Structure 1
Amino acid sequence: MSVTIKDIAKEANVSYSTVSKALNSSPLVKEVTKQKILRVAKEMGYEPNLAAKQLVRKKTEVVGLIWPTIERIVLATLVTNISKAFASTRYSMILSVDSTETAMESFKKFQVDGMIVFAESENMVPEENIPLVAYGVSGKSEVTYPIIDANHEQAMDTAVQYLYDLGHRNIAYVGLMNTDDALQNEKVEGYQKVIQKMGLTELNIATNGLDWFDGYLAVDDVLHLDKRPTAIIGSSYDISSGILRALQEKGFGVPDDISLISYDNIPQMETTEIPMTCIGVPVDELAEEIVQTIIERIESEEKNVIKKLNPSLTERESAGPVPEEDVTSS
Structure 2
Amino acid sequence: MSVTIKDVAKQANVAPSTVSRVLSDSPRISEKTKRKVRKVMDDMGYHLNFSGRVLVQQSTQTIGIVMKRSSSHSFDNPFFSELLRGISASCHKHDYSINITTGDSEEAIFHDVVKMVQGKRVDGVIVLYSKEEDKVVPYLRERDFPFVMIGKPPADANDITYVDNDNILAAKEVAEFLIRLGHNRIGYIGGDSHFEVTTARLAGFKQAIAEHHIELPEAMFKNIQLDSGDAKKIVSELLEVDNPPTALIVTDDFNALSVMLALQEQNVRIPEEMSILSFNNTIISRLANPPLTTVDTQSYQLGYESADCLVELLGGGEVFKKSVIVPTVIVERDSCIAKKAMSDEK
Runs of 4+ aligned structure 1 residues displaced above 6 Å come to: 13-16
Of residues 231, 247, 250 in structure 1, which corresponds to 2:247? 231
SS of 1:167's equivalent in the other structure is coil
For residues 164-179 of structure 1, what are the structure 2 equivalents within 5 Å? Answer: 164-176=179-191, 179=193
1:219 alignment counterpart: 235
Shift of 1:8: 4.2
Q: Distance in 2 between matches of 1:319 and 1:87?
A: 39
SS of 2:60's equivalent in the other structure is coil
**Contact 1:22–1:38 (CA under 8 A) maintained in structure 2:** no
For this pair of structures, how many residues does the alignment match? Answer: 323
Q: In the TM superposition, what whole-angstrom CA distance separates every residue of 1:81-127 from its partner, at most 9, and x where no partner exists?
A: 32233223322222112344322222222442211113432346122
Q: In the TM superposition, what whole-angstrom CA distance separates every residue of 1:186-219 from its partner, at most 9, and x where no partner exists?
A: 2222222211221113252424514896334311
Distance 1:165 1:211, change over 3 A: farther
Shift of 1:62: 1.7
Q: Distance in 2 between matches of 1:37 and 1:193?
A: 57
Does residue 152 in structure 1 map to residue 164 in structure 2?
A: no
2:81 alignment counterpart: 76
For residues 239-254 of structure 1, what are the structure 2 equivalents within 5 Å? Answer: 239-254=255-270
For residues 79-118 of structure 1, what are the structure 2 equivalents within 5 Å? Answer: 79-98=84-103, 99-108=108-117, 109-118=119-128
1:263 alignment counterpart: 279
Structure 1 runs not aligned, ≥5 long: none
2:327 alignment counterpart: 310
Distance 1:144 1:101, change over 3 A: farther
Distance 1:95 1:146, change over 3 A: same
2:63 alignment counterpart: 63
SS of 2:164's equivalent in the other structure is strand
With structure 1 as the length reference, what TM-score do the two structures score? 0.83
Distance 1:259 1:20, change over 3 A: same
2:2 alignment counterpart: 3
Letter in 2 for 1:275: P
**Contact 2:66–2:125 (CA under 8 A) maintained in structure 1:** yes
Q: In the TM superposition, what whole-angstrom CA distance separates every residue of 1:12-46 from its partner, at most 9, and x where no partner exists?
A: 69788389559737658586676345423x2xxx5
Q: Which is greater in Rg?
A: 1
1:35 alignment counterpart: 39
Structure 2 runs not aligned, ≥5 long: none
With structure 2 as the length reference, what TM-score do the two structures score? 0.80
Percentage identity across paired residues of the two chains: 19
Does residue 289 in structure 1 map to residue 305 in structure 2?
A: yes
Q: In the TM superposition, what whole-angstrom CA distance separates every residue of 1:210-266 from its partner, at most 9, and x where no partner exists?
A: 489633431111111111211100121222111111122222221111110012232
Q: Distance in 2 between matches of 1:181 and 1:30?
A: 45
Q: In the TM superposition, what whole-angstrom CA distance separates every residue of 1:114-160 from its partner, at most 9, and x where no partner exists?
A: 11113432346122232111112333222432122322211111011
Letter in 2 for 1:315: E
Q: Distance in 1 between matches of 2:339 and 2:2?
A: 71
1:181 alignment counterpart: 195
Letter in 1 for 2:163: I
What's the C-alpha RMSD, in Å, of the aligned pairs? 3.3
**Contact 2:172–2:208 (CA under 8 A) maintained in structure 1:** yes
Letter in 2 for 1:251: N
Q: In the TM superposition, what whole-angstrom CA distance separates every residue of 1:272-328 from its partner, at most 9, and x where no partner exists?
A: 22211112521122122212221222224533333344322111111111144648x
Structure 1 range deviating more: 134-143 or 166-175? 134-143
Letter in 2 for 1:160: A
**Contact 1:211–1:239 (CA under 8 A) maintained in structure 2:** no
Distance 1:116 1:5, change over 3 A: same
Letter in 2 for 1:282: Q
SS of 2:99's equivalent in the other structure is strand
Structure 1 range deviating more: 23-32 or 204-213? 23-32
SS of 1:290's equivalent in the other structure is helix
Letter in 2 for 1:250: Q
